[in-house]
Structure 1
Amino acid sequence: MPTAQEMLARYGDASSCLKHLERSRRELLHLVETLSDEQLFQRPSAEVWSPAEVLEHISLVEESAGKIIRRLRRVGLGEAEPFPPSPPGQTRPDGRPLAPPLMEPKGGLPRAALLERLQAVRERVLAEVAESGERLPHPPTYAHPFFGDLTALGWLQTLVYHEQHHLRQIQERLGA
């Protein structure tokens, strides 16, 4: 069984990650375009997020990871202090990870606001990756709640995994 870091490493370097992210975002946006408002905003069940809530969650996670990538760059340059330790991730009884409370969607965002938020957050992440450049794969690290200590590149790789995971999840729930 591969380790978390080995699993993330399959997404490759920053250039490869950016290609994966571009492709998954294109697929995600295309899927959203095909959904009626009812399909986008309706929860399959009380405890399962609607596709709109999943989109909000993706943007929350991506925004957080972008801030972590920036902070890791600044720590590496001696411009910021390291992060305090992060709490470990929580899992459901079936072993699936639970989103930390700050990454849970609040709901209520209209389609246009969701799409604008996804775009704005992605632009900030791309800027952070560009600014980090050659430093991405190098220490310092910060612990991901489920994947352990990761460099900025590792955090970028988690974004690839995360968006692809939720894209498949939405597709499966919709039978797409």
Structure 2
Amino acid sequence: MFMLEKNSKIREEIWDSVKGLSDEQLNKVVVEGQWSIAQVLEHLRLMEENAVRGIREVLSKDEYNPTDPKPMHLIADRTIKRDAPDYLIPSNEFQTLEELRAKLASSREALENSIQGVSEEDLNNKSFPHRRFGLLSVTQWISLLGFHEQRHIGQIEEIKQSL
């Protein structure tokens, strides 16, 4: 599936952006009230796991809910500020890069497994709500995850400038 390939490339960009940083740098909060790089990575895991729960649930149902195209590329635009919902806010727990990599690998594997063997028809016509865009098909959710990670690459780069 093309979107998963695109998302994999974006994930590699994330790993490239944190290459060479120590675990202390990853966990350093450079501006009070903002996230560390480790927290950004944890947020990405929480988002992907949340999407997987929704995908599994909607794919288990027999109903179709076709959706319209949505401007999901806007998610990547960092000039539009948004607060994460409580269930996507990361903890302050110290985490190593190795731990974060394992958690993100696990959430990506869960995403891939959740759609394995699912027809394009189901992926395109089974949908569940997003808090900003309303109903999104499974295909749109997968695309949104890629744009969401792109957004946070920009945030990681901003944090790195202050380390």
* TM superposition score category, shorter chain reference: 0.7 to 0.9
Q: Taking structure 1 as the reference length, what is the TM-score of the superposition?
A: 0.76
1:100 to 72, 82, 85: 85
Amino acid at match of 2:118: S
Which residue of 2 is the match for residue 56 of structure 1? 42
Letter in 1 for 2:18: V
Q: 1-side partners of 2:94 and 2:45: how far apart?
A: 12
Q: Please report how far the alpha carbon of residue 109 of structure 1 lies from its aligned counterpart in structure 2 after TM superposition.
A: 4.1
- Residue 136 of structure 1: which of 119, 123, 127 is its match? 123
Unaligned runs of 5+ in 1: 1-14, 79-93
1:99-156 per-position Cα deviation (integer Å, ceiling 9, x unaligned)? 11011001314212211111111100011122433211113x2110112111111111
Q: Kindly state the Cα deviation for residue 37 of structure 1 after the two structures are TM-superposed.
A: 2.3
Residue deviations 1:41-98 (CA, integer Å, cap 9, x gap) = 11121111000000000000000101111111111369xxxxxxxxxxxxxxx96221
Q: 1:172 to 1:45 in 2, by over 3 A?
A: closer
Whether the aligned pair in 2 keeps the contact of 1:40 and 1:50 (CA below 8 Å) is yes
2: CA distance between counterparts of 1:58 and 1:131? 25
> For the aligned residues, what is the CA RMSD?
2.1
Aligned residue type for 1:63: E
2 CA distance for matches of 1:69 and 1:120?
16
Alignment of 1:39-78 (within 5 A): 39-76=25-62
Verify: 1:162 aligned to 2:151, yes or no. no
Secondary structure at 2:116's aligned position in 1?
helix
Which residue matches 2:70?
none
Residue identity matched to 1:101: D
7, 18, 30: which one aligns with 2:16 = 30
Equivalent pair of 1:54/1:105 in contact (CA under 8 Å): yes
For 1:19 and 1:160, locate their aligned partners in 2 and report how far apart those are by CA, in whole Å: 10
Residue 89 (structure 1) aligns with: none
Corresponding residue for residue 104 of structure 2:
118
Output the CA distance in 2 between the equivalents of 1:76 and 1:163: 30
CA spacing shift, 1:77–1:132, aligned 2, 3 Å? farther
Greater RCO structure (CA 8 Å; 6+ sep): 2
Whole-Å separation in 1 of the counterparts to 2:87 and 2:40 = 14
What is the rounded CA distance, in whole Å, between the counterparts of 1:163 and 1:95 in structure 2? 15
Stretches of structure 2 lacking an aligned partner (at least 5 in a row): 65-78
Q: How many residues align?
A: 146
